[in-house]
Amino acid sequence: MEQLKQSYLDGAADSLTQGQKMAELVYGRDIKHVMLLHIGGFETVMLPKLLDLLKQKGFQLITLQEAESDLAYATDADLPSNWGGTFLQQMMRVKHLELPPSENRLAKLDSACR
């Protein structure tokens, strides 16, 4: 269970770093980020630790309306509706930018859960 908790926090930290790197590549600056959480049993256990991580990384919680006021969100990636990915991943694809390298945490988690 402790390994699962650490994997969650490592993944969250990596996602935060990746988001800032992608924003810098796409916009030349950091943007106001939107965080989407899928709340379930494990997430409710991890939420206090996630909020601590955000604070340690210098993030400040704001409303969705405040985040969407960033001019970055005025741009539509205009990709086919079946293409997934985060907003920044979509903008990277539109601008033909390579995604920053990231650890494959899901493969590690899958092997740990077998």
CB 68 within 8 A of CB 82: no
Q: Which residues contact 57 (CB under 8 A, 6 or more apart)?
A: 13, 16
The pLDDT of residue 56 is 96
The model's pLDDT over 67-113, given as tens digits with 9 standing for 90+, comes to: 999 999 998 877 776 767 888 998 998 899 998 877 666 666 566 66
Tokens, residue 20: 């800032």
Task: Give the H or E element holding residue 108.
Answer: helix 105-113
If one compares 81 and 32, the residue with the highest pLDDT of the two is: 32
User: What is the reported pTM?
Assistant: 0.81
